[in-house]
């Protein structure tokens, strides 16, 4: 008899506790192979394709695209193996010959579900249709090296159909088309009866926005004015969990979110991670900013000469990165972090250089590993690779963490200056404005030169203004006279 195994959202590492479903790669009724990617999710770090450790037929999907699920929540169920009594010698029918039911969520019958759940862990380790591969915290227990496949009679569409039913809830009072456990929890916390809602999702599925709309409608119902005639019908009673409202002496103003045209954007995914990190930086780091204008004419000329000599093209940000690593070698205080619990400044031996990159998914900070040991050509190639990965949403969590110092080239947005917020838990960030022609005194005469504004925001706990000013002045000297950099090579 076929076993229906439940695959839960795995721990994706880096301390992440939730992920948003971006795109389903399989549908109910599809046949999946072991370790086949079944869903694409977005975490606070990156986009990840999640592989399923079981091979079989998908019998249920938990969550629509856009739904946020916590780690450990059910993701999908897979029917593994053939039903008892199936004739292995009979011609196999393609599972897609008869379409599976279109319901987004299905469950096995109570008689089949109980033993399936009770033996799920044992089946996961012993089944020949399951993988020994894991990400973090999930997968079968069988070692991958000892895994063997046994030929089985394939599941037919009729076998799958017998395992697909709507999920009964509330003691058999009728099905409620809700997939997301977050939606159920939100409704429960606010006393919303899901049976009274009409879902806006596919096949009447109740989504989070449906519950939030019901909450807002309940919150904005004001009591009738004094002296107004009684309504023709009795008012709808409040949920038992809702407190009684005291009579108001003045009209109740509608909440800002209830006004027409107001849009609520959840702080989750990359946007939520950025908000949390910047808020923590402002709360924990006593930062200060200093800035200086520098004549970048000679730096631009040096880059032009390097690119004219042939070979790989050198990006301007790669030259600034090379200058930064040289400046950090002279002022290692800025390549550090603060251990607040131990009240210690931790100076780091290597420079892992982050750079702010704006993408369609929000602001990300990819990290160039061992930037201090790279040449200008190597830095240019790595900047290009990470930038493209950021735009396509394929950066891994490891490529977004571990930075020790950050460059922020806001000049690409056409602005001259800024006061960057430090990328916690680092100690400093260098901002680079746009390079524009300006009047400048050069060799005692007024001339038009290419001028850039540089700003350094630093953690005042790791150093004082003298160290920060010395770092910024050395960067400006290298920008104005690139030959200064040769002294450190």
As its CATH architecture, domain 169-224 has Irregular (4.10)
Strand order in the sheet with 3-8: 3-8, 74-80, 56-61, 31-32
DSSP letter string over 198-262?
---SGGG---HHHHHHHHHHHHT-PPPPTTPPPPSSPPPPPPTTSPPPPPPSSPPPPPGGGSTT-
Measured CA to CA, the distance from residue 200 to residue 156 in angstroms comes to 33
* Statement: residue 281 has pLDDT above 70: yes
Quick check: is 460 catalytic?
yes
* Statement: residue 335 has pLDDT above 90: yes
pLDDT band at 253 (very low <50, low <70, confident <90, very high): low
Among positive and negative, which fits the CA dihedral 313, 316, 321, 326?
A: positive
* Statement: residue 67 has pLDDT above 90: no
Q: Containing H/E element for 165?
A: none
Choice among 183-197, 214-228, 287-301, 459-473 with the minimum mean pLDDT: 214-228
pLDDT band at 445 (very low <50, low <70, confident <90, very high): very high
Among positive and negative, which fits the CA dihedral 273, 277, 282, 287?
A: negative
Task: Decide: 63 and 21 in contact? Cβ < 8 Å.
Answer: yes
Which of 223 and 215 is assigned the larger pLDDT?
215
Q: CB-based burial of residue 306 (10 Å sphere; 0-12 exposed, 13-18 middle, 19+ buried)?
A: middle
Q: How many CB atoms lie within 10 A of CB 439?
A: 10
Mean model confidence pLDDT for the chain = 76
Q: Taking residues 336-359, report their average pLDDT.
A: 93
User: What residue spans define the domains of the chain?
Assistant: 3-166, 169-224, 270-488
* Statement: residue 472 has pLDDT above 50: yes
CA-based nearest residue to 158, from 57, 77, 33: 57
Encode pLDDT of 165-175 as tens digits: 444 444 444 45
What is the pLDDT at residue 106? 40
Encode pLDDT of 354-370 as tens digits: 998 887 777 789 999 99
* Statement: residue 292 has pLDDT above 80: yes
Measured CA to CA, the distance from residue 57 to residue 76 in angstroms comes to 10
- In words, the CATH class of domain 3-166 is mainly beta
Measured CA to CA, the distance from residue 267 to residue 471 in angstroms comes to 36
What is the pLDDT at residue 113? 40
- Choose the most confident range, by mean pLDDT, from 115-119, 244-248, 374-378, 389-393: 374-378
- Per-position b or e across 243-273, b if 16+ CB within 10 A of its CB: eeeeeeeeeeeeeeeeeeeeeeeeebbbebb
Choice among 136-140, 284-288, 325-329, 392-396 with the minimum mean pLDDT: 136-140
β-pair partners for 51 = 37
What is the pLDDT at residue 254? 53
Pairing state of beta strands 405-408 and 353-355? parallel
CA-based nearest residue to 8, from 57, 48, 61: 61
Q: What is the CATH superfamily name and number for domain 270-488?
A: Chloramphenicol acetyltransferase-like domain (3.30.559.10)
Measured CA to CA, the distance from residue 430 to residue 258 in angstroms comes to 42
What is the pLDDT at residue 471? 97
Q: Taking residues 153-157, report their average pLDDT.
A: 49
pLDDT band at 353 (very low <50, low <70, confident <90, very high): very high
β-pair partners for 263 = none
What is the pLDDT at residue 302? 93
What is the pLDDT at residue 235? 46
Structure token digits, residue 290: 């200093």
Structure token digits, residue 199: 């879902």
Give backbone dihedrals phi and psi of 32, rounded to 5 degrees, phi first.
Answer: -115, 150
Give backbone dihedrals phi and psi of 293, rounded to 5 degrees, phi first.
Answer: -90, 140
């Amino acid at each position: 008899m076929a076993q229906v195994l439940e695959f839960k959202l795995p721990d994706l590492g880096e301390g992440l506790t939730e992920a948003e479903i971006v795109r389903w790669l399989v549908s109910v009724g599809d046949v999946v192979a072991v370790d086949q990617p079944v869903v694409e999710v977005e975490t606070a770090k990156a986009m990840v394709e999640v592989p399923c450790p079981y091979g079989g037929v998908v019998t249920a999907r938990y969550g629509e695209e856009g739904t946020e699920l916590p780690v450990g929540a059910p993701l999908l169920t897979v029917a593994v193996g053939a039903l008892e009594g199936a004739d292995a010698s009979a011609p196999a029918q393609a599972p897609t010959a008869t379409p599976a039911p279109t319901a987004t969520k299905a469950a096995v019958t109570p008689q089949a579900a109980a033993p399936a759940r009770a033996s799920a862990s044992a089946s996961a380790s012993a089944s020949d249709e399951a993988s020994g591969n894991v990400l973090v915290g999930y997968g079968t227990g069988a070692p991958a090296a000892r895994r063997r496949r046994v030929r089985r009679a394939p599941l037919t569409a009729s076998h799958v159909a017998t395992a697909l039913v709507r999920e009964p809830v509330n003691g058999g009072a009728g099905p409620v088309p809700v997939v997301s456990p977050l939606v159920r929890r939100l409704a429960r916390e606010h006393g919303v009866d899901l049976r009274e809602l009409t879902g806006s999702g596919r096949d009447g599925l109740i989504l989070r926005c449906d519950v939030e709309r019901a909450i807002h409608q309940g919150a904005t119902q004001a009591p009738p004015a004094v002296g107004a005639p009684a309504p023709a019908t009795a008012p709808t009673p409040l949920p038992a969990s809702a407190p009684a409202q005291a009579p108001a002496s003045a009209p109740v103003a509608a909440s800002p979110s209830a006004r027409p045209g107001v849009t609520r954007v959840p702080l989750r995914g990359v946007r939520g991670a950025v908000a949390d990190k910047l808020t923590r930086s402002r709360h924990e780091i006593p930062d200060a900013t200093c800035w200086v204008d520098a004549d970048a004419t000679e730096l631009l000329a040096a880059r032009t000469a390097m690119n004219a000599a042939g070979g790989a093209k050198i990006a301007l940000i790669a030259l600034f990165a090379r200058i930064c690593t040289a400046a950090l070698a002279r002022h290692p205080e800025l390549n550090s972090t603060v251990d607040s619990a131990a009240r210690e400044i931790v100076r780091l031996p290597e420079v892992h250089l982050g750079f702010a990159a704006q993408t369609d998914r929000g602001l990300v900070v990819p990290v160039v590993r061992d930037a201090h040991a790279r040449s200008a050509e190597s830095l240019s190639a790595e900047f290009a690779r990470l930038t493209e990965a950021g735009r396509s949403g394929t950066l891994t969590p490891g490529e977004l963490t571990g930075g020790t110092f950050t460059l922020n080239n806001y000049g690409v947005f056409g602005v001259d200056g800024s006061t960057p917020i430090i990328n916690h838990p680092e100690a400093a960030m260098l901002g680079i404005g746009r390079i524009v022609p300006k009047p400048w005194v050069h060799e005692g005469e007024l001339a038009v030169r290419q001028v850039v504004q540089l700003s350094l925001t630093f953690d005042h706990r790791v150093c004082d203004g003298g160290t920060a000013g010395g770092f910024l002045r050395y960067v400006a000297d290298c920008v104005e006279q690139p030959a200064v950099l040769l002294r450190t090579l």
